[in-house]
Amino acid sequence: MTDWDDGGAPPADRPPSMGRLVEQLSEQATRLVRAEIALAKAELAEKAKRSAVGIGLIGAALVVVLYAVGVLIWSAIIGLAEAWPLWLSALVVGVAMVLLAVVMVLVAVRQLKQAARRPETIDRVKDDVAALKEGINR
């Protein structure tokens, strides 16, 4: 093994052969690719860990919000019970919640119908293709 096999500059009196240069290039490229893959794996593992923590916190927050909404609904029923009987205030809050859910479903259905429509771009591309075919056939 010579002193320039470790990646250092070769001696001026003995330049490396073309085969040796290609071999070194291959080795260094392989080393570089492996290092980049290892770095990418480490970065992805770190992102996955942070994402898991974030998703867990969002899930916990959703549970807290669910309980908070229940408490707010119950407080609305109790507040209305000051003026009406408890059963009537519970009925009014329940009907209001059903109406809210119906409105939300109707809006969601409208959004889904709009999303399901075929994009206008497809029609324009088909028209362009037909025009090109007609122009070529002339």
At 1 the pLDDT is: 47
12 located within any domain: no
Contact indicator for 89, 81 with CB cutoff of 8 Å: yes
Q: Is 121 a domain residue?
A: yes
Per residue in 93-103, pLDDT tens? 999 999 999 99
Alpha carbon 9 to chain centroid, angstroms: 48
Q: How many domains does the chain have?
A: 1
> Is residue 82 in a domain?
yes
Model pLDDT for residues 43-99, shown as the tens digit of each residue: 999 999 999 999 999 999 999 999 999 999 999 999 999 999 999 999 999 999 999
Quote the pTM value.
0.54
Q: Please tell me the distance from the alpha carbon of residue 73 to that of residue 77, in angstroms, as a whole number.
A: 6
Residue 33 lies in a domain: no
Residue 93 neighbours by CB under 8 Å, 6+ apart: 73, 76, 77, 80
Domain range enclosing 103: 50-137
